[in-house]
Structure formats: C-alpha cells, structure tokens
C-alpha cells in the first residue's frame, strides 16, 4: 500500500532560499525519500511506509526532525504583555517553565497560527510555529503598540523524540530528573556537553518530548547522541505521523484551518477561548461569536471504504441530499481503528456525530459519517501519564 503511494519520483529544485534545519544532513543519511517545504524549511516527508513508522511510534521510540517548526522569540520588558495580547489564552497564569498550546488571534477572531508556546525564562517566550508568518504578525503588533520588546528567530531548533521508550532514551542522556518533567512543561538540560531545552510536548499523542538544540552547529552531534542513547530501545528515524495526529484531533494550520477560521468553528478548540479580564487582539469578535454561534464547523469523519493511504491532494467536495455542503481537509488510514478517518467542514446543522455524507475523492465516491474529535484518548491520558 505504501509502495503505491510513493511510486512517482519528483525532484525538488534546491536553493539557498530553502532553510534547512541543523538535522537536515542527518535525515539525508537516514534515507529520507521526500521532503515538504514548511515555514520555508525542508521537512522530511517519509522514510518508510507510514504504517510501518506508525507501529514503531506506538511500540518503541522515534526521532523526528521538526526544525521546520520555526521558533519565534518574544523577549524584553514588554514580552509578557505582547505575548498575552496576541492570544485568546490567558497567559497571566502561565508559569516560567510551562508550555501551552496557543492560538494567535486576528482582530476578527481568525487563527493566525497555532504554535506550542514555551516559557523557558522570565521575560522570554518561544512560539514554535506552524506554517505561517506569525513572527511578522507579532512584530507588527509590537510596533503598533510601541512595546519595548524583541521579536526574532533565536538559535532554537526542535527535534521530537516520541514513543513509549522516549523517556528512557532521554533519561540516559540527562539523568533521572527528566522523569519529573510534567506534561506541557519544559526545562533546561545538557546532553553531551550541549545545552538544550526539553519540553514534554509533541505531535503524536504518545509519551514524548521535544529537544531543542540551542546552537545550529551542534545539531548533528545532538541528533547522533539521541540515536545512540535509543539504540537499545530500537530507536529509528521517522517522519511525523499523520495518522496519529488525526486520531488525536491535532490540526494542520493552512489546510484544516486558516486565518479565515475561528476557534468556535473547530471541534475541541473552543475551549482555548478563555474568559479573562484583560484585552487581547480579537477578544470582542470572539466574544460576539461565542454569543451568536457559527454557521459551519470542522468535525471528524469516518469513511465506509477499503483501506486507502493517499492523502487528499486537494480538498474533497462533500454532499448531503445531493447538495454540495462542505469539504474534507484530511483523510488517512488509522491502523489502530482499522478505518479511514479525517476532518470535514460542514454546516453546523450537519455537524452532529452520525450524519451521513457523500464524498468525491480520487478513490471514487465515498460514504462518510461525521464523528467527534479526537478519535482516541480525548483527555490526553496517554501522553500525560506518569513516566515513572
């Protein structure tokens, strides 16, 4: 099945305008067979059949190059104020050493970006961004408000170490203190003499971490140190698992949602519009949407079809009672659920679980049923469980 998906070879023209993470050469050595361009950066697309990589993620430990999650630092006297002002989350309660899944909001309530936010030090915030120009947006807000703050790309490059053996792998390098790191918290450590910031976060909904290299030239050495530590646990290099992130209800900014969408439209994200006394960009718009409701929503969809593993090259039109009503943004085979699942935009009146839809796809006409997201582990009990 995976062989069919990647039968066509395409050459990507390489140029210096494409950024490369400090792990790029390591991914070439590991046999990456294709790259995406994400945040102007080359991101490995796959090494092996995605279903093989999925099984290894669930049973062992994998390392992913996610340096394309370009980090934006906000620091200086007004850093706390600016960071809190560009999100609907209440960051006044975010402690040093804590992390948050963050929505950067536009004046109309639209989602500019959905980074993982780290607060590694007093007066310093790192947004590790999805594909967009969120850094320029934050800089524009800072200039417009006249804030005393720096907004820039620091020397910070994440890799992900994910899977049930991820903690044991990293503990060999940094010591047992790693086991005390709480879910969605971060800390400063040292690996083979190299300073790093490790956060207990990830794109897999399994036990996992992101290890942030703090000097570009050390990327290869850091990558190799992690691989050596994980050898006894069967570590392998892989690409971020699309099946796992859809099972977990994680969105891809730019396809599942854009700046044209707001959190109340997307199942599970409405909880991030936190009621708070202070103002933020988009607050009035979002509070009005909270009161008035939305006309369309992004929800899950399950397909009545044989297994397929070719993702939509474009949005798939969706029909109900013969009328086109929406679009599928993602469809992928879930080895755990033994079915094809994905996301679909539909009118709010059709968004309740159990609604039958017809979908036009490259696999022909499909029948789908709306479903709740996430598909598995809605309370994040697996990644948040004790590491000891």
379 domain residue, yes or no: no
Positive or negative torsion for Cα 144, 148, 153, 159: negative
* 367 and 291 housed in the same domain: yes
Rounded mean pLDDT of 354-362?
96
386 domain residue, yes or no: no
* 169 and 62 housed in the same domain: yes
378 domain residue, yes or no: no
What is the token pair recorded at 322?
């013969």
pLDDT recorded at residue 6? 44
pLDDT, tens digit, for every residue of 196-228?
999 999 999 999 999 999 999 999 999 999 999
* 199 and 269 housed in the same domain: no
Q: Which CATH number fits the domain that encloses residue 170?
A: 3.30.1360.120
pLDDT recorded at residue 348? 98
* Host domain of residue 167: 2-69+157-245
pLDDT recorded at residue 9? 59
* 177 and 106 housed in the same domain: no
In the chain the first and final C-alpha atoms are separated, in Å, by 38
pLDDT, tens digit, for every residue of 153-197?
999 999 999 999 999 999 999 999 999 999 999 999 999 999 999
Last residue of a domain, one of 229, 245, 261: 245
pTM greater than 0.75 (yes/no): yes
Give yes or no for residue 335 having a pLDDT over 90. yes
* 286 and 165 housed in the same domain: no
* 313 and 326 housed in the same domain: yes
Count of structural domains, the chain: 3
Last residue of a domain, one of 106, 126, 152: 152
């Amino acid at each position: 099945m995976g062989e069919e998906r990647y039968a066509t070879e395409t050459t990507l023209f390489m140029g210096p305008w494409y950024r490369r993470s400090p792990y790029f050469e390591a991914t070439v050595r590991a046999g990456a067979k294709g790259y995406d361009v994400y945040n102007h950066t080359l991101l490995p697309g796959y090494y092996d059949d995605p279903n093989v990589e999925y099984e290894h993620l669930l049973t062992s430990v994998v390392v992913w190059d996610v340096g394309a999650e370009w980090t934006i630092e906000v620091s200086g006297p007004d850093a706390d104020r600016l960071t809190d002002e560009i999100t609907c989350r209440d960051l006044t309660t975010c402690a040093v050493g804590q992390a948050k899944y963050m929505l950067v909001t536009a004046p109309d309530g639209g989602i500019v970006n959905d980074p993982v936010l780290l607060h590694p030090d007093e007066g310093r915030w790192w947004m590790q961004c999805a594909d967009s120009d969120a850094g320029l947006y934050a800089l524009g807000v800072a200039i417009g408000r006249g804030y005393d703050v720096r907004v820039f790309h620091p020397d910070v490059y994440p890799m992900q170490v994910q899977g049930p053996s991820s903690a044991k792998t990293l503990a060999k390098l940094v010591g047992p203190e790693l086991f005390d790191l709480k879910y969605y918290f971060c800390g400063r450590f040292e690996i083979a003499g190299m300073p790093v910031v490790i956060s207990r976060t990830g794109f897999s909904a399994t036990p996992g971490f992101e290890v942030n290299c703090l000097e570009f030239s050390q990327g290869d050495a850091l990558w190799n140190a992690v691989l050596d530590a994980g050898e006894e646990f069967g570590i392998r290099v892989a690409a971020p698992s699309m099946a796992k992130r859809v099972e977990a209800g994680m969105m891809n900014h730019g396809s599942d949602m854009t700046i044209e969408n707001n959190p109340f439209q997307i199942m599970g994200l409405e909880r991030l519009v936190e009621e708070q006394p202070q103002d933020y960009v988009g607050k009035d718009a979002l509070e009005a949407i909270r009161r008035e409701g939305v006309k369309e929503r992004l929800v899950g969809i399950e397909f009545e079809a044989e297994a397929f593993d070719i993702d939509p090259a474009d949005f798939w039109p969706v029909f109900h009672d013969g009328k086109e009503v929406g679009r599928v943004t993602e469809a992928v085979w879930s080895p755990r659920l033994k079915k094809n699942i994905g996301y679909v935009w539909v009118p709010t009146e059709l968004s309740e679980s159990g609604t039958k839809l017809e979908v036009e796809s490259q696999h022909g006409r499909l029948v789908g049923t709306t479903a709740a997201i996430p598909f598995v582990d809605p309370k994040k009990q697996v990644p948040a469980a004790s590491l000891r």
